[in-house]
Amino acid sequence: GAADAAGLHDRAMAGEAGYAVADAGAVYLMWWQPYIGLPYDEAHCWHLVCRVYQDHCGVTLPTYAEVSARDLIRVAREISKGQESWQPVTDPQPFDVALMRGRSAVWHVGVMTDARHVLHTERATDAVRVPIDAMHMRGRVTGFRRYQA
């Protein structure tokens, strides 16, 4: 069956699948590096999450192919509500999904690369990895969700 994100973190902690673990327990293999610079037009935020989960977790998430990049509010809100196997967590780990808001509502998602950095894509930046406490990110992250198969 498909491995869930929490199981992947556990495997990394055990040293499996080529993942390395720092003394503090953080997964430090830079699995996220090939996604940096990926054009927004090739993978808007939810498609980036789907791609990461398929590539690294063996999980095929619904693509919501009918949803345009401009209509991701519904996807982000469904995840925010804990729908579709997404459980709220307060201690983000690699492969957890970060929920982000615009002016007032959750409308954007990204993938945590560790407890302090998120991989996400926006039209202005393409795919980037940034600290969640960076000036332009402060107040945007509203929570984290972990996929449970």
Which element (helix H / strand E) includes 78? helix 73-80
Q: Which residues, in sequence order, are bridge partners of residue 101?
A: 106
When pLDDT is averaged across residues 86-98 and rounded to a whole number, the result is 92
Report whether 91 contacts 80 (CB < 8 A): no
What's the pLDDT at 18? 41
How far is it, in rounded angstroms, from Cα 48 to Cα 72?
A: 12
d(CA 123, CA 43): 10
Contact 5, 13 (CB under 8 A): no
The values of phi and psi at residue 65, to 5°, are -55, -30
Give 108's pLDDT tier (boundaries 50, 70, 90).
confident
pLDDT digits (tens, 9 = 90+) for 12-66: 444 443 444 444 455 456 889 999 999 988 888 888 999 999 998 899 887 765 5
For the entire predicted model, the pTM comes to 0.72
Contacting residues for 21 by C-beta, under 8 A, at least 6 apart: 12, 13, 15, 27, 28
Mean pLDDT of the chain: 76
Is the CB of residue 12 less than 8 Å from the CB of residue 19?
yes
Q: Encoding tokens for residue 67?
A: 């949803």
107 pLDDT exceeds 80? no
